């Protein structure tokens, strides 16, 4: 029987349940209030010290010293409706196969951001970014039929930056230190005796290391083009994935890698207006953990427009990136298990974001920026009939029968809204 493979899919999918935070997959569409207001752009558009979070080369356009502190209140709305488990009960004559639903109780997250830039001389600028790049999970602990699943992954990055500029070009480099914390808890019936066991080991933490590299070129005073690369960062969360797998007689690594990103962008200014466009590829297919769950490389596009007036600015944008989680959909037990637990524990399926923001100069040296990011509802359904039939057959063996469950499916709906506020100070 393939109960061990199903248990593994439950455990591992939950383990890699990183946050869905106005995101492309689980990656924030933009870092900083101005970037988030303009569709997640910022590879070529100069937004001040917050560029330390996106393309360190652009710090070469700064003057003096700027410090910004802020954060995002993110509110995802994730709901699951599934009859994967109830179809098993129905096959055993223990109830109906009606679907069971719950909205995840993990519906509010706070993501901090701090950035600094200070010019050293005419050619060199130092910057610093401290920011949450991911952090959330799902919480279905009120519902037995949904495995009482809970996951929580928080990721923070610390990135000191150094930028060099000369004339109409600049380059920048930032070593990255990444802190991650992972906690996972769920229930699984590993003995098929109608008695689920708690699988959980408390929180694990780790430090990982990577780098950001960027460059820009001013084709004219009005038009800038740029490119940036963010390396993958390998992480290992002790006794999380491995302990969950070991509960079912399996051996697995605790490694989980945040994927590399390649970005290009352009920014054009005319009068009071600036127009921005970014394209990036997130390399999910190469990242440990994600590639095992059939995540594909994701192409993301963002556009934005910003109007700057006397002491204020307003902006809007749009960001689109297709669902990176490719359904296996092959009718096999293994394929359905992967599809289901991506859907259940890791619903990074939103594909469009509408953004709006603005800023106001409070004093000559202080400004307040704000942004709102909205991702409309997306629905994804996967077939789980083979899983339900496998469970029903395994349970019924002890009862002297060979029950087979009716068809079943797992559906998730997901929408998001996030509010970002940032205070910028110039010296």
Tens of pLDDT along 207-225? 999 999 999 999 999 999 9
pLDDT in tens, 95-137: 888 999 999 998 888 888 999 999 999 999 999 999 887 666 7
Distance of CA 128 to the CA centre of its chain: 22
Alpha helices in 29-173 (DSSP H): 33-37, 86-91
Q: What are the distances in angstroms from CA 322 to CA 28, 63, 230?
A: 14, 38, 20
Confidence band, pLDDT 50/70/90 cuts, at residue 14:
very low
Per-domain boundaries in the chain: 3-426
Task: Identify the CATH homologous superfamily for domain 3-426.
Answer: Outer membrane protein transport protein (OMPP1/FadL/TodX) (2.40.160.60)
Q: Can you tell me the mean pLDDT for 297-304?
A: 95
Q: What is the pLDDT of residue 333?
A: 82
Can you give the C-alpha Rg of the chain in angstroms?
23
Greater pLDDT, 198 or 1: 198
Poorest-pLDDT segment among 63-77, 101-115, 305-319, 340-354:
340-354
Has residue 373 got a pLDDT over 90? yes
Q: Any bridge partners for residue 68, and if so which?
A: 115, 424
pLDDT in tens, 226-250: 999 999 999 998 888 777 656 555 5
Q: Any bridge partners for residue 159, and if so which?
A: 129
Q: Can you tell me the mean pLDDT for 266-285?
A: 96
Secondary-structure percent of the chain, ordered helix, strand, coil, rounded to 5: 20, 50, 30
Residue (of 275, 329, 321) closest to 301 by Cα position: 321
Confidence band, pLDDT 50/70/90 cuts, at residue 1:
very low
Distance from C-alpha of 35 to C-alpha of 330, rounded to nearest angstrom? 40
Q: What is the pLDDT of residue 185?
A: 82
């Amino acid at each position: 029987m393939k109960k061990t493979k199903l248990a593994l899919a439950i455990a591992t999918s939950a383990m890699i349940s990183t946050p869905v935070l106005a995101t492309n997959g689980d990656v924030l569409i933009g870092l900083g209030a101005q970037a988030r207001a303009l569709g997640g752009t910022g590879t070529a558009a100069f937004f001040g010290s917050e560029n330390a979070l996106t393309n360190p080369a652009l710090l070469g356009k700064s003057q003096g010293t700027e410090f910004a502190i802020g954060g995002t209140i993110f509110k995802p709305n994730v709901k699951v409706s599934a009859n994967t488990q109830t179809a098993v009960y129905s096959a055993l004559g223990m109830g109906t196969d009606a679907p069971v639903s719950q909205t995840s109780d993990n519906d509010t997250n706070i993501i901090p951001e701090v950035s600094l830039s200070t010019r050293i001389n005419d050619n060199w600028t130092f910057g610093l970014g401290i920011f949450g790049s991911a952090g959330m999970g799902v919480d279905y602990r009120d519902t037995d039929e949904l495995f009482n699943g809970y996951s929580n992954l928080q990721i923070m990055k610390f990135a000191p930056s150094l930028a060099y500029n000369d004339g109409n070009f600049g380059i920048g480099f930032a070593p990255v230190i990444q802190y991650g914390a992972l906690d996972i808890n769920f229930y699984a019936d590993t003995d098929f005796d109608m008695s689920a066991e708690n699988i959980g080991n408390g929180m694990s933490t780790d430090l990982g290391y990577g780098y950001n590299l960027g460059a820009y070129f001013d084709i004219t005073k009005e038009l800038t083009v740029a490119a940036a690369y963010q390396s993958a960062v390998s992480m290992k969360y002790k006794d999380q994935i491995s302990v969950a797998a070991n509960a079912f007689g399996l051996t697995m690594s605790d490694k989980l890698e945040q994927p590399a990103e390649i970005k290009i962008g352009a920014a054009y200014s005319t009068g009071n207006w600036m127009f921005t466009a970014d394209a990036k590829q997130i390399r999910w297919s190469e990242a440990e953990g994600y590639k095992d769950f059939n995540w594909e490389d994701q192409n993301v596009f963002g556009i934005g427009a910003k109007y700057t007036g006397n002491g204020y600015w307003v902006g809007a944008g749009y960001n689109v990136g297709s669902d990176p989680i490719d359904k296996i959909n092959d009718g096999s037990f293994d394929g359905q298990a992967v599809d289901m637990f991506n859907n259940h524990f890791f619903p990074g399926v939103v594909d469009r974001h509408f953004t709006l923001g603005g800023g106001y100069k409070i004093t000559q040296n202080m400004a307040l920026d704000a942004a709102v990011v909205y991702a409309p509802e997306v629905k994804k359904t996967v077939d789980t009939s083979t899983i339900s039939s496998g469970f029903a057959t395994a349970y019924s063996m002890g009862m002297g029968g060979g029950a087979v469950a009716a068809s079943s499916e797992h559906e998730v709906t997901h929408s998001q809204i996030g509010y970002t506020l940032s205070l910028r100070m110039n010296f």
